[in-house]
Structure 1
Amino acid sequence: MLVTLNENLKNAEKGNYAVGAFNSPTLESVRAVIEAAEELQAPIILAHAEVHNEIIPLEVMGPILVEFAKRATVPVTVHLDHGSSLEMVKKAIDIGFSSVMIDASHMNYEDNIRIVQEVVAYAHVKNVSVESELGVMTSSGLGGEEMHSELIHGDYYTDPLVAKDFVERTQTDALAASFGTVHGIYITKPNLDFKRLEEIYRNTKRPIVMHGGSGLSEEEYIKAINAGVRKINYYSYAARAGAQAVKEYIEKENNANLFYHDFTVVAKESIKQNVKRVINIFLNKGEVLANGEA
């Protein structure tokens, strides 16, 4: 069933868990995520990142995400990830998305506020939830979705007091905060500032969104959820799992006849198992499929 981000995160707040947001730029990844969620009977967020328009345009993938969400037996939010403009947000809402992210975090503070206010005003009258970002979320440079190349440190983290002012003035529904995660594949162990995260959550009284949510340990996920994270963006490690499964399949088959459709089946199953594992962690019940890195 298609639900708003507010609906999904309100339940997450009551249950002290996080809802996984899975960027799904291919049909195989969409099917993998939906199947994983339905097998676990867990709520999820199907997301389309604007940067993935180069893989498949929003106009093509958007209606597919909405249709899968409507048919699902679990609550599914369809979300625009890292929308860059009001025009892109309007396009997603017109397609039927129930949630949008406007990312103006690279702009100066007042411009960020102004653009988020515009999006909130437009989206809320259409019963669409809004996520925005404060602070700098960088990329490891390996599988990341943003162009920042430097690794983040304290100077880039979200200020809890500034976050309070930001939320009060914008009335954003969820806040993407920077506290030590990065987009892409980790090349060094992340240094997460959980105390800062707790202060952001306490000051804003809003669900906190973790971007760059792939590749953390189970303990780090749980600590983040207990500190106020209610939405976790997860993509890079699931995509890598699918690619690795295809690579192993090709090596195993050696010189046998290979067909592209076989690759999609192998990739989907690997992505599905990877997603099931992290959903189990995000539900914060102590039930995981296997040990090790998520």
Structure 2
Amino acid sequence: MLVTLKELVEDAKEKKYAVGSFNTPNLETLRAVIKAAEEVNSPVIVAHAEVHEDLIPLDVMGPIMIQEAKKAKVPVCVHLDHGSSFEQCVKAMKLGFTSVMYDASGKSFEDNVTETKEIVKIAHSLGISVEAELGHIFTSAVGGGEGRGPLGAEDFNSLDDAYTNPDSAKEFVERTNVDALAIAFGTTHGVYLTKPELDLNRITEIKNKIDIPFVMHGASGLSDEEYRTAINNGITKINYFTYMSMAGGTAISNFVKEMDEKNEAIFFHELALIAEEGIKQNVKGVLNTFLNQKVPLHVQPL
């Protein structure tokens, strides 16, 4: 069933669990994520990242995502991830997406506020949710894919310059009226090359200033304990892609080795299904962690 982001994260905030958000740049990944959510009985967010336009365009993948969401047995939000332009966000809205993320975090605070506020006005008039980002989430050189190149702690004078400031977060939310805010506290897009130094207490500090649903980007590779602490401190949406995609690649690699040992032919359609199963199993594992032993919501479809 197709639902909005606001419905999902508000329920998650109340019950202290997190909804998983997964980029789905092809049909196999989309099916794997929705099947995993159905088997775990969890709400889920399927997302199209603007950076994946070279893999499949929004206007091709978007309608497929919406169709599959409507058929799903669990609540599914269809979300634009890291939209960097008004045009892309509006295109997603016109296609029927129930949520968009407008990411102006690389701009000045005032520009971020002004531009996000305009997107919120448009989206809310259509009943569509909006996520924004404040602070700087690090980007690995391996699989980061945010379109800005690698970004680490060494690019800032101090971690405080990179992490989300609680007072700024309060002002940003009050001025923009966003439904969810992605905050920076040490996570990294892509593969972790070193153990991350997370400031999980910062989530609580921000929550004490402004109590809305918060989003964790760059969540692949963390421990179950780190996930649960983040959720208990106020994270209600967790973006997860890199290690899910790697699970699909590992499944293919293992299958190819097995077939080579048997000297048997390998067919592409088999590889796609092998990857789908590997992704599904990985997603089921993290969804169980994100649920935090809470009962997911059941809402009326759009």
With normalisation by structure 2, the TM-score equals 0.93
Instruction: State the match for 1:58 in structure 2.
Output: 58
Q: Does the 8 A contact of 1:22 with 1:47 survive in 2?
A: yes
Quote the offset at 1:24 in angstroms.
Answer: 0.4
Measure, in 1, the Cα distance between the counterparts of 2:33 and 2:275.
Answer: 12
Measure, in 1, the Cα distance between the counterparts of 2:138 and 2:151.
Answer: 7
Instruction: State the match for 1:246 in structure 2.
Output: 252
Instruction: State the match for 1:222 in structure 2.
Output: 228
Letter in 2 for 1:156: A
Equivalent residues in 2 for 1:269-280, closer than 5 Å: 269-280=277-288
Quote the offset at 1:138 in angstroms.
Answer: 2.1
Letter in 2 for 1:78: V
Q: Does the 8 A contact of 1:86 with 1:118 survive in 2?
A: no
User: Which deviations, in whole Å up to 9, do the C-alpha atoms of 1:31-84 show, x marking residues without a partner?
Assistant: 000100001111000000000011000000000110111111111000000001
Partner of 2:182: helix, strand, or coil?
strand
Quote the offset at 1:150 in angstroms.
Answer: 3.0
Measure, in 2, the Cα distance between the counterparts of 1:122 and 1:175.
Answer: 18
Letter in 2 for 1:133: E
Q: Does the 8 A contact of 2:162 with 2:184 survive in 1?
A: yes
Equivalent residues in 2 for 1:152-171, closer than 5 Å: 152=153, 153-171=159-177
Measure, in 2, the Cα distance between the counterparts of 1:168 and 1:70.
Answer: 33
Quote the offset at 1:157 in angstroms.
Answer: 0.4
Equivalent residues in 2 for 1:87-166, closer than 5 Å: 87-146=87-146, 147-152=148-153, 153-166=159-172
Gaps of 5+ in 2: 154-158, 295-302
Instruction: State the match for 1:289 in structure 2.
Output: none
With normalisation by structure 1, the TM-score equals 0.96
Measure, in 1, the Cα distance between the counterparts of 2:54 and 2:120.
Answer: 27
Quote the offset at 1:202 in angstroms.
Answer: 2.0
User: Which deviations, in whole Å up to 9, do the C-alpha atoms of 1:186-229 show, x marking residues without a partner?
Assistant: 01111111111111122121100000011100000000000100
Q: Does the 8 A contact of 2:138 with 2:186 survive in 1?
A: no
Q: Does the 8 A contact of 1:138 with 1:148 survive in 2?
A: no
Partner of 1:62: helix, strand, or coil?
helix
Instruction: State the match for 2:206 in structure 1.
Output: 200
Measure, in 2, the Cα distance between the counterparts of 1:221 and 1:55.
Answer: 29
Gaps of 5+ in 1: 287-294
* Structure with bigger RCO (C-alpha 8 Å, 6+ apart): 2
Quote the offset at 1:148 in angstroms.
Answer: 3.6
Measure, in 1, the Cα distance between the counterparts of 2:285 and 2:208.
Answer: 29
Partner of 2:42: helix, strand, or coil?
coil
Partner of 2:82: helix, strand, or coil?
strand
Structure 1 runs (4+) greater than 2 angstroms displaced: 152-155
Identity %: 53
What is the RMSD computed on CA atoms of the aligned residues? 1.2
Q: Does the 8 A contact of 1:102 with 1:131 survive in 2?
A: yes
Measure, in 1, the Cα distance between the counterparts of 2:175 and 2:161.
Answer: 23
Instruction: State the match for 2:179 in structure 1.
Output: 173
Measure, in 2, the Cα distance between the counterparts of 1:202 and 1:45.
Answer: 26
Measure, in 1, the Cα distance between the counterparts of 2:52 and 2:134.
Answer: 22
Number of equivalenced pairs? 287
Q: Does the 8 A contact of 1:243 with 1:267 survive in 2?
A: yes
User: Which deviations, in whole Å up to 9, do the C-alpha atoms of 1:218-242 show, x marking residues without a partner?
Assistant: 0000000001000000000000010
